Structure 1
Amino acid sequence: MSREQEVIEACPTDLFIGGKWQAAESGKTLAVEDPATGETLCSVADAGVADGLAALDAAVAAQAEWAATPPRDRGEILRRSFELMTARADELALLMTLEMGKPVAESKGEIAYAAEFFRWFSEEAVRIDGGYQIAPNGKGRFVVLRQPVGPCLLITPWNFPAAMGARKIGPAVAAGCTMVIKPAAQTPLSMLKLAELMTEAGLPAGVLNVVTTSDSGGVMEPLIKDGRARKLSFTGSTPVGKKLIEQSADQVLRTSMELGGNAPLIVFEDADLDKAVEGTMLAKMRNGGEACTAANRIYVHSSVIDTFGAKLTERMKALKVGRGTGDGVDVGPLIDAKQRDKVAELVDDAVSQGADVLLGGSVAEGNGYFYPPTVLAGVPASARLQKEEIFGPVAPLTAFDDEDEAIRMANDTEFGLVSYLFTKDLSRALRVSEALESGMVGLNQGIVSNPAAPFGGVKQSGLGREGGSVGIDEYLDVKYIAVALD
């Protein structure tokens, strides 16, 4: 048996409800595909509504005892989970590569990133504070508590199958909340393995329940409208996020939404072009471009755009495309045929409107869902990829002439997750950073994600923040106690 087969065989494939692994009530299963070959890796339980409600039952039943568990104990479980993830990084990374497609080296990076959320929130668990205040008239006292919000529904995407789960599970565990989590149908294995690992770390039965399903809306909507869950956290597309917010209104469910992005990256004429190219490679090509933080629109000052374009094209051309398990592979396949076809449509649309192809620009031949690294120049404002999230290895370049124009183009979107800019001018750096309409800014760097920093957007890129010292706030309610003095 090959190492790949061993890793797949060792991964749970049932639902995880109330601390037990069990098949879907219907007996149905869901095939998990290798995007590099299009072949089936294995099948997992395909949950229905009854399974989802059973998972919610388990979370509700465990909530009171879990909330009463000492913060230190909750933190220690997270710390042990961090240590187990770190120790088993090779196995977890290979599993992720097989189901999602990214190169193993990048999967290892995600495992380290995901584990860090557990370490960060293990430390935050014991720092949940409150307040004590003398009433303004001196006749009473105000006591402020922060308590777990209650059972949570968590929905995660396929592009970062471990990190997006850990980013939600970590603060929920630290705060004392139980959970039902539904991973994406394309990449359920990483979450199932994570649940197994956290159980080994000592997480009690019912605190984390995992439901895998091909019918996300059909299974999750009844849970959202049930009334017993008190929190919904979702990472995914803006259209789906809007629908979930609408469904949550019935029970006035507390929501956190990390939605779509359309990140601008601005290169000013005074930027160090070599550093700007390096930063652009990170911002554009992390996860093969399948990231909500990926640079989607690259604006370069007209005086340096030709030089920048040539340097970027050279770097993109050197990338090795292939199955993520291969030696030296830099870019793996896209997640599925639908995503590959969307990327091709966006590129074809831009070219039809006058964009020049500096590199790539056509679907790769052969098996799997590959699309080559692509650089486009002279992309017009009317091109669809100026408005729609690409989610692929495509770098569209557009020239600008002055700072105001760059800011105007960067902000010309309903999204506002992250922006990037490169300049040596400190005054300009601060001025433009403040003017950009986004929840995060990468200043002279192409990566902003860090478990110790607040992650989230503005406008239609979402609500709330994950990570940082504020990340646990999303899972806590504030209770004020008015105390009368004799």
Structure 2
Amino acid sequence: MNFVRLGLLKRSLNMECRNLHLLKKLAYINGEWVNANSNSVFPVINPADDKVIAEIPDMDATDAKIAVDAATNAFKTWKDTSAKERSSILRKWFDVCQKNSDHLADIITAEAGKPLGESKGEVAYGNSFLEWFADTARHINGEVIPSPWPNKQIIVTRQPLGVVSIITPWNFPFAMITRKVGALMAAGCTCVIKPAEDTPLTALAAVQLAEEAGVPKGVINVITSSRKNAPAVGKVLCEDPNVGCISFTGSTHVGKILYGMAAKGIKRVALELGGNAPFIVFSSADISHAVEQAMLAKFRNNGQACVGANRFLIHEEMFDKFVDCFKYKISQKCILGPGHKEGVTCGPLINMEQIKKVSGLVNDAVKKGAKVMIGGQVAKDIGEKFYESTVLVDVKPDMEIYGEEIFGPVAVCLKFKTENEALEIANSTRSGLAAYVFTSDLGQAFRMSRQLEFGMVAINDGVLSAAEPPFGGIKESGIGREGSKHGAEEYTDLKYTLFSALDK
């Protein structure tokens, strides 16, 4: 890097740092803030204006190995801490994150582009997992099973499985870390976090607060890398013999690659992968309520959410009314702009790859006969990464967007006539993460819950995520659950112990 560009980057960094209290520019291994072994760096870009926020270490396989070794050594002592002690530390981490919520939100908005209000919502959501797992740590219980033999006793205990590799996405850079790390720490595990290259600063801020809360060195490690080094780092995190589990949230494509790598060592995996959520509105539904909830289900994080509604299946009797109401709400509520600007509700897409994907899907659909009811293009007067909130109708199965996860602010509205037809369309995907159903017929609600092939079903609600219920999908949307008591149990091994000769 030449000295002129370095000077420009430093000046840009100084300007951005003024309001980013928790901004860290180094990775975190074994309780130390460190550079990459090679001293290489890469820039983190604000997607709203393409300005450099910071330059951070571009780590490689060597650094990843050092981090895994640090987590391995820390596990030797952390696994033997009492559940009460782990609970106390998690509670302190929650408390310090609560106190720094605004600072965390500033960083999320800077690197992920979210409106500031939405970033604050993510921090509150992420903090809820630390609070939940602080309580759950003391309730990871075993079993006493009646023995089939006299004078023998069967005991089943849950023990921490070891080092966990955490690979997180860019769309919820804080909550995806607390949901995973809170759970594994409660279970007695240690970890190495590899945050998305687009949003690593939130992870570093979170671990800074973990350090302040008293998390022992080596329990949490964060390695940062660019896309160039990500494959080599991922290989270490999946194949190192000291790693016991790979926990990944991201695309189904990448999840399959990591699953294959983990298979070489018969390692545990916890995968939360892509979705293709149907949003089904029956003729008995309250249309006004359904539209309000559709706004939440579709445009949260500008459509960049795995549980975001993808396909809107509307009963033919309600179709025109729903679309008209939806268009009106979008025109009133979806305000594009930089995340720190007051009044903005929809920020930029994360990078140009996402813009190209969303634009390509819409353009293909229009070319093949779909009709744009609102939006349908890049808002170039605001910036290159701002895509207008969009509604498409007359979408047919031969269009790419019909079966593709959009991951952007585009709602595909389809008509259906019968309950069976709605089910057939909804289930015609290899994804199975979340589904939304709107009906006032209680029997229909129970039938849909049972017959929809998705891990999570929301009835008459557009937001279903919380710390208390198990979050996860079926089919190609993942393996395992996060949140709830099951989220902590994912990071334990069951051990059966037989006590014999008790009469001796």
Fold match (TM-score > 0.5)? yes
Code of the aligned partner of 2:85:
D
Is residue 417 from structure 1 mapped to residue 433 from structure 2 by the alignment?
A: yes
Deviations 1:60-91 (A, max 9, x none): 01101001111111111111111111111111
Secondary structure at the aligned position of 2:444 is classed as helix
Asked if the contact 2:140/2:485 (under 8 Å) is kept, the reply is no
Give the structure 2 partner of residue 179 of structure 1.
191
SS at match of 2:386: coil
Q: 1:440-455 alignment to 2 at 5 Å?
A: 440-455=456-471
Structure 2 residue corresponding to 1:464, chosen from 461, 480, 484:
480
1:193 corresponds to:
205
Secondary structure of the residue aligned to 1:421 is strand
SS of 1:12's partner is coil
> For residue 457 of structure 1, what is the amino acid of its counterpart?
G
Instruction: Give the match's secondary structure for 2:343.
Output: coil
Give the aligned length. Answer: 486
Aligned to 1:391: 407
- Measured after TM superposition, the shift of residue 166 of structure 1 is 0.6
Structure 1 276/42 Cα, relative in aligned 2: closer, same or farther at 3 Å? Answer: same
CA displacement, residues 333-357 of structure 1 (integer Å, 9 cap, x when unaligned)? 0000110111000111111121111
Q: Which residue of 2 aligns with 1:301?
A: 315
Counterpart residue number, 1:229: 243
- Report how far residue 270 of structure 1 moved: 0.9
Offset of residue 8 of structure 1: 3.7
Give SS of 1:442's match. Answer: strand
Match of 2:76 in 1: 64
Whether the 8 Å CA contact 2:17–2:23 is kept in 1: the answer is no
CA contact (8 A) 2:283 2:317 kept: yes
Q: Which residue of 1 aligns with 2:272?
A: 258
Q: 2:4: which partner in 1? A: none
Q: Is the 8 Å Cα contact of residues 456 and 465 (structure 1) preserved in structure 2?
A: yes
In structure 1, the residue matched to 2:259 is 245
Aligned-pair RMSD on alpha carbons?
Answer: 1.2
Contact 1:130 1:145 (C-alpha < 8 Å) held by counterparts: yes
**1:35–1:368 Cα contact (<8 Å) kept:** no
Could you tell me how far apart the structure 1 residues matched to 2:294 and 2:283 are?
Answer: 15
2:218 aligns with 206
8 A contact 1:38–1:368 mirrored in 2: no
Contact 1:375-1:395 within 8 A present in 2 as well: yes
Answering whether residue 129 of structure 2 is matched by residue 114 of structure 1, we say: no
- TM-score scaled by length of structure 1: 0.98
Q: 1:4 offset after TM fit, Å?
A: 4.9
Q: Give 1:397 deviation, angstroms.
A: 0.4
Equivalent in 89, 93, 97 of residue 105 of structure 2 = 93
CA contact (8 A) 2:436 2:457 kept: yes
Kindly provide the amino acid, as one letter, of the partner of residue 109 in structure 2. Answer: T
Distance 2:24 2:317 in 1: 55
Please give the alpha-carbon distance, in whole angstroms, between the structure 2 residues aligned to 1:10 and 1:167. Answer: 20
Q: Is the 8 A contact 1:4 1:94 kept in 2?
A: no
Is 2:362 aligned against 1:347?
yes
Cα distance in 1 between the residues matched to 2:237 and 2:439: 48
- Unaligned runs of 5+ residues in structure 1 are none
Matched, 1:484 2:500: yes
Q: Which amino acid in 1 is paired with 2:358?
A: V
Q: TM-score, normalised by structure 2?
A: 0.95
Q: Is this contact kept in 1: 2:161–2:189, CA < 8 A? A: yes
For 1:245, what is the secondary structure of its paired residue?
A: helix
Cα deviation, residue 138, structure 1: 2.3
Task: Quote the offset at 1:368 in angstroms.
Answer: 4.1
What runs of 5+ residues in structure 2 fail to find an aligned partner?
Answer: 1-12
Which residue identity does 2:268 align to in structure 1? R
Report the Cα distance in structure 1 between the residues aligned to 2:136 and 2:21, rounded to whole angstroms: 35
Residues 323, 333 of structure 1: 8 Å contact kept: yes
Q: Does 1:337 align with 2:349?
A: no
How many angstroms apart in 2 are the aligned matches of 1:353 and 1:31? 40
Q: Does 1:292 align with 2:326?
A: no
Tell me the equivalent position of 2:287.
273
What CA distance in whole angstroms lies between the structure 1 residues aligned with 2:475 and 2:34?
41
CA distance in 2, matches of 1:70, 1:222: 30
Cα displacement string for residues 305-352 of structure 1 (whole angstroms, at most 9, x for unaligned residues): 000000000011112110000001010000001101110001111111
Show CA shifts across 1:416-455 (max 9, x none).
0000010000000110111100000010000110111100
The answer on whether the counterparts of 1:8 and 1:41 sit within 8 Å (CA) in structure 2 is: no
Identity of aligned residues (%): 43
Structure-1 residue corresponding to 2:173? 161
1:220 aligns with 2:234: yes
Alignment partners' CA distance in 1, 2:314 and 2:30: 53
- In 2 relative to 1, CA 310–392 (structure 1 residues): closer, same or farther, beyond 3 Å? same
1:32–1:99 contact (8 Å) kept in structure 2: yes
| 2: CA distance, partners of 1:421 / 1:330 | 25
Q: Is the 8 A contact 2:16 2:53 kept in 1?
A: no
Q: Is the 8 A contact 1:134 1:140 kept in 2?
A: no
Letter in 1 for 2:494: V
Cα 1:45–1:8 change in 2 (3 A) is farther
Deviations 1:187-238 (A, max 9, x none): 0000000000000000000000000001222112023212111011000000
